[in-house]
């Protein structure tokens, strides 16, 4: 069974800060606005599947890791 380990918003912020990227820099790398990064990190919006794949590829993590799913 899949369970939520952590939330996407926390994972995104962690990955961004781990790479020492600002929201503006990450937005440029992903081809979105800084405002979208802020909305995602604050949990006010969630990315679509295509954006999730782009983010996962950028950070070299799986989709499961990115969204916080864990196999039991």
Domain boundaries defined on the chain:
2-71
Q: What is the pLDDT of residue 15?
A: 97
Specify the CATH number of the domain 2-71: 1.10.260.40
Residue 65 has pLDDT above 80, yes or no: yes
Buried-exposed string 28-41: b where 16+ CB fall within 10 A, e elsewhere? eebebeeebbebbb
**What confidence tens digit (pLDDT) does each residue in 15-56 have?**
999 999 999 999 999 999 999 999 999 989 989 999 999 999
Q: Judging by beta carbons within 10 Å of its beta carbon (0-12, 13-18, 19+), is residue 59 exposed, middle or buried?
A: buried
Spell out the residues 6+ positions from residue 5 whose beta carbon is closer than 8 angstroms to its own.
Answer: 68, 69, 70
Q: What is the pLDDT of residue 50?
A: 96
């Amino acid at each position: 069974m899949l369970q939520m380990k952590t939330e996407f918003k926390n994972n995104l912020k962690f990955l961004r800060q781990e790479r020492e990227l600002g929201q503006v820099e990450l937005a440029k790398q992903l081809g979105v606005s800084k405002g979208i990064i802020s909305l995602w990190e604050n949990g006010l919006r969630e990315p679509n599947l295509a954006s999730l794949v782009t983010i996962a590829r950028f950070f070299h993590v799986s989709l499961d890791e990115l969204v916080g799913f864990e196999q039991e």
